[in-house]
Amino acid sequence: MKIAVLSDPHIGSTNAVFVPNWEKVVAHVNARSDIDLVVILGDLTLLGSEQPEDLLFGRLALDALQPAWLVLPGNHDVGDISRASHQPSNSKRLALWQEQYGATHWHSDQLPGWRLIGLNSQIIDTGLAEECAQWQALEEALATRGSRRPVLFTHMPLFLTNWEEADRPAWALMHDGRERLRRLIVGHDVSAVVTGHMHRTVQLDLPETRMIWCAASSFLTYDHSMPEQPGAALLGLTILTLGEGEVGAEFVTLHDLMISRIEDYNGTIYRSPAKD
C-alpha cells in the first residue's frame, strides 16, 4: 500500500507563486495507479492563518486530487505554537480551519492493517482546550487500534537534532509535548512518525521509531538561514510504502518544478522565523 505525502504547498489566493508547483505535484499523483491515499502534511496555504480566503482556496484545490485524501494544518494554516508569536494558534483560527476541512486531528483505518493518526502540531504545549481534547483522542486511538500498526503524521518535527534539545517552537515541538509523545510512541510501538515543515527530506531510524521528514513542493531554503538539522533539500513529494509492519519512504524529485529559495523573496511573501 502506498501513501503520497504532499507537504508544505504554500498555495495562496492572492499570491499564486507556488500554485504551479502544487498543480504539477497533483498531476503526478493523479497519473499514478499505485497511490491508495494522499496525506497533505500541513502548510497547505500560504496565509490561511491570517486570510480566511486562503483556507477556502486551499480546500477547493484539494478537489483536484483523484485519490482519497486526509489533511492536517500547519503554522501557515492555523498559527504558531508560541504564545508570543504575531499569529498564535487559537480557537478562532482553529474554527476557521474546521469550517473548511473538518477536525484538525484524526485517525483513519482505511488502509487494512494500519491505523493512521494525524496530530495538529500547532496546539501541542499551548494550553488550549483543543490540546487537551487532542491528547485524549490520541491516547484512545492508540489504545483501541487492536492489531493495526500505528503511524503518526504531524506538520512539525518532534525535534531537529535530538530529543533533549532546547525549545525552538518555530521549528519543532517543545520539550513537554515531545516527551509525552515519546512515551506514547514507545508504549504503543509506533511504526513511524511522518513530518513536514523543514522543507528537507530525511529518514532516521531511532530506538523509539522511524522518523521521516517529507519533501516540500513549494520552495527550499539556504542552509545558513536555518538551525542545525539533518536531511537534504529536495522539491517534490514523498511516497510511503506500508508493508510487513514497516513504513518505507521514497523521496521523489519532480524536475519541472520551479526551484526557489524563500530568502530570495526578501520577506515579501511572509515573515520568516528567526534561525535560533
CA distance 73 to 37: 17
| Domain membership flag for residue 215 | yes
Q: Report the run of H or E that residue 243 belongs to, with start and end.
A: strand 236-243
Interval 211-264: pLDDT, tens: 999 999 999 999 988 899 999 999 999 999 999 879 999 999 999 999 999 999
Integer Cα distance of 135 and 192 in angstroms:
18
Res. 20: pLDDT tops 90 = yes
Residue 27's φ and ψ, nearest 5 degrees, are -60, -40
* Residues β-bridged to residue 149: 114
What are the backbone angles phi and psi of residue 94, rounded to the nearest 5°? -65, -40
Contacts of 219 (CB under 8 A, 6+ apart): 10, 18, 199, 235, 260, 261, 262
Alpha helices, DSSP H only, in the chain? 19-31, 52-61, 75-78, 91-101, 129-143, 175-187
Residue 271 covered by a domain: no
CATH number at residue 144: 3.60.21.10
Over 80: is that where the pLDDT of 276 sits? no
Q: What is the CA radius of gyration of the chain?
A: 17
Using 50, 70 and 90 to split pLDDT, how confident is the model at 17?
very high
pLDDT, position 262? 93
Q: Which residue shows C-alpha cell 504531524?
A: 154
Residue 166 β-bridge partners: none
Over residues 64-87, the mean pLDDT reads 97
Pick the residue with more confidence: 101 or 276? 101
Count of domains observed in the chain: 1
Q: What is the pLDDT of residues 99-157, one digit of tens each?
A: 999 999 999 999 999 999 999 999 999 999 999 999 999 999 999 999 999 999 999 99
Q: Which residue has the cell 484545490?
A: 61
pLDDT classification of 41: cutoffs 50, 70, 90? very high
Residue 275: pLDDT over 90? no
Tell me phi and psi for residue 174, to 5 degrees: -85, 170
Q: State the pLDDT at residue 22.
A: 98
* 267 confidence band (pLDDT: 50, 70, 90): confident
What per-residue confidence (pLDDT) applies to 270?
Answer: 83
Residues 6+ apart with CB under 8 A from 140: none
Residue 89 included in any domain: yes
Residue 125 in any domain: the answer is yes
Share in percent of the chain as helix, strand, coil (round to 5): 30, 25, 45
Supply the pLDDT for residue 273: 81
pLDDT of residue 64: 98
Domain that holds residue 12: 2-264
Buried-exposed string 173-188: b where 16+ CB fall within 10 A, e elsewhere: bbeebbebbbebbeeb
Task: Quick: pLDDT tens for 163-172.
Answer: 999 999 999 9
Extract the C-alpha cell encoding 86: 504575531
Place of cell 515519546: 182
pLDDT (tens digit per residue) in 187-202: 999 999 999 999 999 9
Find cell 483505518 and name the residue: 109
In single-letter form, the type of residue at position 247 comes to V
Would 46 be classed as within a structural domain? yes
Give me the sheet containing 2-6, strands edge to edge: 69-71, 37-40, 2-6, 236-243, 246-253
pLDDT band at 93 (very low <50, low <70, confident <90, very high): very high
Match 476541512 to its residue by C-alpha cell. 101
